[in-house]
């Protein structure tokens, strides 16, 4: 068993090792490319290889884009072996469990930008301004933002709230929305993948 494990580790090339070491929660190909620094084409190829070998599995197989991948048990054992090789400590995989098909849908650029921008009760116009400040390259109209908010309300990611003195409702995140926002913000946090616990 130990020999087989060593042989498997030897077959994992530098690029694929890098991908595995950066999995700290379920990620899309674009997210893992961003975290690992591996270009998106090589990242997609590496994910396909790892999936074929039973190291990764897709949590949202019914979506066409932004599929979400996570480590299998074998993948978690392999990651732990690679971390030992690199002199890294034990990583505890702690993340909220959500509807991964819905999360994959949220990971599109405009939707994720809107979700990350929602804080206190806010109107779509305020959310748009905040999202555009966070990402100056984002091109999103007021109509886009309203459409995203309508979709979020329909699937239960946001809830309308009435605020005194204001005619139009504001929006806050539901518990599901908060969990998804937490996952998205962790992808942007450069330190989240380095939070490991020494054994």
Instruction: For residue 140, give every residue at least 6 positions away whose Cβ sits within 8 Å of its Cβ, in sequence order, or none.
Output: 110, 113, 114, 128, 131, 132
DSSP bridge partners of 71: 56
pLDDT score, position 100: 96
CA separation for the pair 129, 116 (Å, rounded): 12
Alpha carbons within 13 angstroms on the beta-carbon side of residue 93 total 17
Give the number of C-alpha atoms closer than 13 A to the C-alpha of residue 111, restricted to the C-beta side. 18
- Residue-level pLDDT at 67: 93
Tens-of-pLDDT digits for all 199 residues of the chain? 444 554 454 455 777 788 888 899 999 999 999 888 888 888 888 899 899 989 999 999 988 888 999 999 999 988 888 888 877 777 778 899 999 999 999 998 899 999 999 988 889 999 999 999 999 888 888 899 999 999 999 999 999 988 777 667 889 999 999 999 999 999 887 665 444 332 2
pLDDT at 72: 94
What is the DSSP code (8-state) at residue 193? G
CB-count exposure of residue 16 (10 Å: 0-12, 13-18, 19+): buried
Q: Which two tokens stand for residue 54?
A: 């039973």
pLDDT value of position 184: 94
The answer to whether residues 174 and 159 touch, using CB atoms and an 8 Å cutoff, is yes
Q: How far is Cα 142 from Cα 114, in angstroms, rounded to an integer?
A: 11
Domains in the chain: ranges and CATH: 2-92 (1.10.10.10), 102-184 (1.10.10.10)
Cα–Cα distance measured from residue 9 to residue 83, given in angstroms and rounded to the nearest whole number = 11
């Amino acid at each position: 068993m130990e020999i087989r494990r060593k042989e498997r580790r030897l077959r994992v090339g530098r690029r694929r090792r890098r991908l595995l070491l950066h999995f700290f929660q379920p990620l899309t190909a674009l997210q893992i490319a961003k975290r690992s620094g591996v270009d998106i084409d090589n990242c997609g190829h590496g994910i396909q290889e790892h999936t074929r070998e039973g190291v990764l599995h897709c949590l949202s197989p019914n979506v066409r884009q932004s599929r979400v991948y996570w480590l299998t048990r074998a993948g978690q054992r392999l990651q732990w072996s690679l971390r030992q090789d690199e002199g890294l400590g034990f990583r505890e995989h702690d993340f909220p469990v959500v509807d991964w098909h819905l999360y994959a849908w949220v990971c599109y650029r405009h939707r994720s930008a809107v979700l990350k921008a929602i804080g206190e009760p806010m109107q779509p116009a305020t959310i748009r301004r905040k999202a555009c400040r966070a990402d100056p390259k984002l091109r999103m109209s007021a109509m886009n933002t309203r459409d995203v908010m309508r979709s979020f309300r329909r699937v239960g990611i946001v809830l309308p709230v009435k605020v005194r003195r204001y005619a139009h409702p504001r929006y806050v995140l539901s518990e599901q929305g908060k969990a998804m926002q937490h996952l998205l913000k962790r992808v942007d946090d450069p330190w989240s993948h380095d939070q490991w616990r020494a054994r």
